[in-house]
Amino acid sequence: MAIRIGDQAPNFTQESTEGKIDFHKWAGDSWVVLFSHPKDFTPVCTTELGEVAKLKQEFDKRNVKAIGLSVDPLNDHTKWTKDIEETQSCKVNFPLIADADKKVSNLYDMIHPNANDTFTVRSVFVIDPSKKVRLILTYPASTGRNFVEILRVIDSLQLTDGYKVATPVNWKDGQDVIIVPSLQDEGEIKRLFPKGYKAIKPYLRVTPQPNK
């Protein structure tokens, strides 16, 4: 069964560069970015893992833990980590799951056989502290992901969890947001959005980001 947005993220135990991981225990009360990459010692993956390491402060600010995965064995991950650190000028500060038996890749449907029957595609799962899946992305092996975009989505998820708003196209933290259409009570709108709002259409009402 494919995993979908809103599903409980399945738990697993697997070896990683930071020891054996029980996924739910490891996640604790944090948000998680679980991402697969096709193969160790490959160029695009090397740049992606360097970028995730360099974004650590941004992940920390949002209470997010990153965890990578490929179907390579642990000793390859350990050797490759040195290459990543050398070439990307970073310290790999998050675990890499060594999924040589494909236990996690199969559980999360990260192998798409018509693309490649052995290696994982570039999957991303954003999981919230209640272990609910909140975002799923799938990229082909030849295209490196934009992890700044993943942080942007997490900003949106964390904001919309706390306020009755949605975020418009290309929104970035600090910009105006949209009042959810289900909110119709004028008194409640005034109470929730004291900075006011602009109704461009009855269903398109824009307000300053409420937590700024």
Catalytic residues: 45
Q: Which is nearer to ligand BEZ, 45 or 159 (CB)?
A: 45
Residue 38 touches ligand BEZ, criterion: CB under 6 A: yes
Q: Which residue has the tokens 């954003």?
A: 126
Residue 43 touches ligand BEZ, criterion: CB under 6 A: yes
Least distance in Å: CB of 139 to ligand BEZ?
11
Write the DSSP assignment of 62-125 as a string of letters.
TTEEEEEEESS-HHHHHHHHHHHHHHHTS---S-EEE-TT-HHHHHTT---TTT-SSS--EEEE
Q: Please give the backbone phi and psi of residue 166, each rounded to the nearest 5 degrees, phi first.
A: -125, 165
Residue 45 touches ligand BEZ, criterion: CB under 6 A: yes
Q: How many residues bind ligand BEZ (CB under 6 A)?
A: 8
> What residues contact 146, with CB distance under 8 A and at least 6 apart?
none
Q: Which of residues 137-156 bind ligand BEZ (CB under 6 A)?
A: 141-142
Residue 39 touches ligand BEZ, criterion: CB under 6 A: yes
Q: Which is nearer to ligand BEZ, 116 or 160 (CB)?
A: 116
Residue 158 touches ligand BEZ, criterion: CB under 6 A: no
**Residues 4, 209: Cα–Cα separation, whole Å:** 29
- Residues forming contacts to ligand BEZ in the complex (CB under 6 A) are 38-39, 42-45, 141-142
